[in-house]
Amino acid sequence: MDKNFYITTPIYYPSARPHMGHAYSSIIADFFSRFKSIDGYKVHFLTGTDEHGLKIQRSAEKQGLDPIKFCNQISETFRDLSKTLNLTNTDFIRTTEDRHKKTVQHLWKELEKNDHIYLSNYSGWYSVSDEAFYNEDEIEEVDGKKISITSKSAVEWIEEESYFFRLSKWEKPLLEFYEKNPEFISPSSRRNEVISFVKSGLKDLSVSRKSFSWGVQVPGNKNHVIYVWLDALTNYISALNYPNKEDELFKKFWPASLHLIGKDILRFHAIYWPAFLLAAKIELPKKVYGHGWILSGDEKMSKSKGNILDPLQIIDEYGLDPLRYYLIKEVSFGNDGNISQDRLEDCINSDLANNYGNLCQRVTAFAIKNCDGKIPEKIKFEDDDFNILNKFKDNLENIRSKIDQQDLNFYIDYIVNSLFEANKYFNDQEPWKKKDDITRLNTIVFTSLEIIRKISFLLYPIIPGSVLKALKIFNLGENDIKLEDVSKNEFLIKGNSINKIDILFKKIEKDND
C-alpha cells in the first residue's frame, strides 16, 4: 500500500498580524505532518493565503493600496510565520497565483457545463468578515445592529444578480455520504451539527458577486467574480495541479487525508466543498476535522474583536517549542481552550525543564562520568528494564491508530506518563548505588538512554527543535527518527560516544513562587 498523506490547513485571510488561532491551526497540522513523516509516509502539507473577496478589497482600500500590493505584503507575513513556527509545509499557495485561478475557472466551467450553476438574483444577509451568507433565522439584532448569531460579525443586506450553485440537489447525496463515511466529519459532535443542518434543508448557494471586482472572474461573464469560498476551497486541488488528473501530485495525494480546520468554517468544508466535488465528479477528501477555538476570556480570539494574543511575542519571550508543547497539551484537542501565561510557564518548568530536559541532563552526565562517556556495552536486562522498555513496543500500534483518529489528547498523555515513568525508573533503580555491580549500572544507564531516545522520537512532532538538540547526545539527526524504531530496545550502538548537551529548557522564575 502506498503510504501517502495529504494534510491541509485552511488558507489564511491575510490579516496584518497573525494571531494565536492561526498559529494553533498550523502547529497542529505540523504535528500530524511530522508524525506521518517519521512513520514512513510521503507527506504533502499545504498552507497558504486566501486573498480574494470583499474583505480583502476593503482592507486594501483602507490602507490606500492596490489589493494585489496589499496581498503581496501580507501574504509574506504568513510565509514568515510558517518559518517561525518551524512548519514542514511542502507548499504555500496563494489564491492570486495563476496556477490557482486556472483551476478555479476550470472547476466553474465543469459545474456550469453539467447544469449545476444558473443565473438569478440574490437578496439576503452577508457578512463580509466571514464572507458568508446567512438566513434570517441565523441573524440577531444587538444595539440596533444586525449580526450573525454564531460568529457575532456584522451582516449587511445585499441584493444583486448572482450565479447560484444547485446545492439543494445535494442534500440527499450528502446525507448518504455522511452515513457511509462516519469519520468524514470529526469529531462526532461536529458531524451531528452538520447532519442536522443539512437535514433542515439546503438552499441553492450564491456563488458569484457583481458589486466588486477583487476575485477570479466568472468565465464568460466579466461582470461577476466567483464567490470567494468556491475560489478558496479549490486551493486544495489547484495545489495538486488539478485538472491534470495524471499529474504526479494529484495521483499521489488526492483525495486529501485530512483537512484540518477550525470549527467556524465547518459548513464550508463539510457541506459546500463535498457538494462542489460531487457535482464535478471529483473524489471527496477522507476527513474534515474541526478543532476548537483558542479563546481570549470567553470569546474566540480574532482581529475584529481586538482580543488578539500575539504568537510572535510569546515565541520571543519563551521560545517556539514551549508554545507548541503548550498548545498541544493544554488545549484539549477538539474543544475550545484558553491561553494562560501562567500555565505556559508551569508547562515549561515542570514538563519540559524538569521531566524531559533534566532527565536528559542527569542520565547523560551520569553516563559520561560512570560509563566512560560511551553507550555501555556489557548489559543484562532484568524484568524492571524490560517492563519499561517494552511498554513502547506494546503501545505503538495503539498510538498509530489514535493518531489516525486525531486523538492528540491520548498522545500527549502517553508522553507525559512515559516521562513520569522514565524519571521514576532512574530514581528507583539508583544506579549511583550500583558502582560495585558494573553490569547492573550499565544496564540501568543503557535502559535510561534508550527510554530518552524513544521518548524523544515521540516528542519530535511536538517539539522538533528541542528534540534535535537532545538527540545530539547520541549523534542522531532528523533522518534517523523513525517511529517504528520506538519499539526497538537495543537501537543505540554500544560503544558509541555520548555527548554532553546544552540545557534544553531554561526554568522560568515565577513571581508567585
Which C-beta is closer to ligand MSP: that of 12 or that of 411?
12
Q: Does 12 bind ligand MSP (CB under 6 A)?
A: yes
Q: Does 25 bind ligand MSP (CB under 6 A)?
A: yes
Residues in Cβ contact with 282 at an 8 Å cutoff, skipping those fewer than 6 apart: 237, 242, 254
5, 6, 7, 22: residue in contact with ligand MSP (rule CB under 6 A): 22
Own/partner pairs, 169-176, CB within 8 angstroms, 24+ separation: 169/116, 170/202, 170/274, 170/275, 170/278, 170/279, 171/198, 171/201, 171/202, 173/278, 174/198, 174/202, 174/271, 174/274, 174/275, 174/278, 175/199
Quote the CA–CA distance of 453 and 364 in Å, as a whole number: 12
Binding segment for ligand MSP (CB under 6 A), chosen from 18-26, 68-76, 184-192, 456-464, is 18-26
Q: DSSP labels for 426-445? A: HHHH-GGG-TT-HHHHHHHH
Which C-beta is closer to ligand MSP: that of 256 or that of 279?
256
Q: Can you give 141-204 as a three-state secondary structure string?
A: EECCEEEECCCCCECEEEEEEEEEECHHHHHHHHHHHHHHCCCCEECHHHHHHHHHHHHCCCCC
Binding segment for ligand MSP (CB under 6 A), chosen from 97-105, 208-216, 297-305, 497-505, is 297-305
Q: Does 293 bind ligand MSP (CB under 6 A)?
A: yes
Q: Does 334 bind ligand MSP (CB under 6 A)?
A: no
Q: How many helices (H) and strands (E) does the chain have?
A: 19, 18
Q: How far is the CB of 156 from ligand MSP (least distance, A)?
A: 19
**Total residues binding ligand MSP (CB under 6 A):** 21
Pick out residues in 234-273 that bind ligand MSP (CB under 6 A): 235, 261-262, 264-265
Of the CA atoms within 13 Å of residue 350, those in its CB half-sphere come to 10
Q: Please classify residue 142 by burial: count the beta carbons closer than 10 Å to its beta carbon, then call 0-12 exposed, 13-18 middle and 19+ buried.
A: exposed
Q: Does 187 bind ligand MSP (CB under 6 A)?
A: no
Q: Does 116 bind ligand MSP (CB under 6 A)?
A: no
Binding segment for ligand MSP (CB under 6 A), chosen from 169-177, 300-308, 351-359, 471-479, is 300-308
Instruction: Using alpha carbons, list the distances in angstroms from residue 176 to 145, 181, 195, 279, 308.
Output: 39, 9, 10, 15, 40
Quote the CA–CA distance of 450 and 381 in Å, as a whole number: 12
| CA quadruple 21, 27, 31, 33: dihedral, nearest 10 | 110
Which C-beta is closer to ligand MSP: that of 264 or that of 450?
264
Q: Does 28 bind ligand MSP (CB under 6 A)?
A: no
Binding mask 399-428 for ligand MSP (x = CB under 6 A): ------------------------------
The 10 Å Cβ neighbour count of residue 14 is 24
The answer for 204, left when phi > 0, alpha when psi is -120 to 50, beta otherwise, is beta
Q: How far is the CB of 213 from ligand MSP (least distance, A)?
A: 19
Q: Does 294 bind ligand MSP (CB under 6 A)?
A: yes
Binding mask 46-85 for ligand MSP (x = CB under 6 A): ----x-----------------------------------
Q: Does 302 bind ligand MSP (CB under 6 A)?
A: yes
5, 6, 7, 21: residue in contact with ligand MSP (rule CB under 6 A): 21
Among all residues, whose Cβ is closest to ligand MSP? 262
Quote the CA–CA distance of 135 and 128 in Å, as a whole number: 15
Q: How far is the CB of 205 from ligand MSP (least distance, A)?
A: 15
54, 85, 233, 375: residue in contact with ligand MSP (rule CB under 6 A): 233
Q: Give yes or no for a contact between 314 and 323, defined as CB atoms under 8 angstroms apart.
A: yes
Which C-beta is closer to ligand MSP: that of 225 or that of 508?
225
24, 70, 165, 366: residue in contact with ligand MSP (rule CB under 6 A): 24
Which C-beta is closer to ligand MSP: that of 329 or that of 454?
329
Quote the CA–CA distance of 448 and 362 in Å, as a whole number: 10
Quote the CA–CA distance of 294 and 298 in Å, as a whole number: 9
Q: How far is the CB of 228 from ligand MSP (least distance, A)?
A: 8
Pick out residues in 193-232 that bind ligand MSP (CB under 6 A): 232
Q: Does 30 bind ligand MSP (CB under 6 A)?
A: no
Instruction: Kindly calculate the radius of gyration of the chain based on its CA atoms and give it in whole angstroms.
Output: 26
Quote the CA–CA distance of 16 and 312 in Å, as a whole number: 13
27, 239, 301, 492: residue in contact with ligand MSP (rule CB under 6 A): 301
Which C-beta is closer to ligand MSP: that of 165 or that of 457?
165
Q: How far is the CB of 109 from ligand MSP (least distance, A)?
A: 20
Pick out residues in 482-511 that bind ligand MSP (CB under 6 A): none
Cell numbers found for residue 349: 518548568
Per DSSP, the three-state class of 87 is coil
Cell numbers found for residue 31: 504535528
Q: How far is the CB of 513 from ligand MSP (least distance, A)?
A: 31
Q: Does 7 bind ligand MSP (CB under 6 A)?
A: no
Alpha helices by DSSP H, 166-309: 171-180, 188-199, 228-233, 235-238, 248-253, 266-267, 273-279
Which residues lie near ligand MSP (CB under 6 A)?
A: 10-13, 21-22, 24-25, 50, 232-233, 235, 261-262, 264-265, 293-294, 300-302
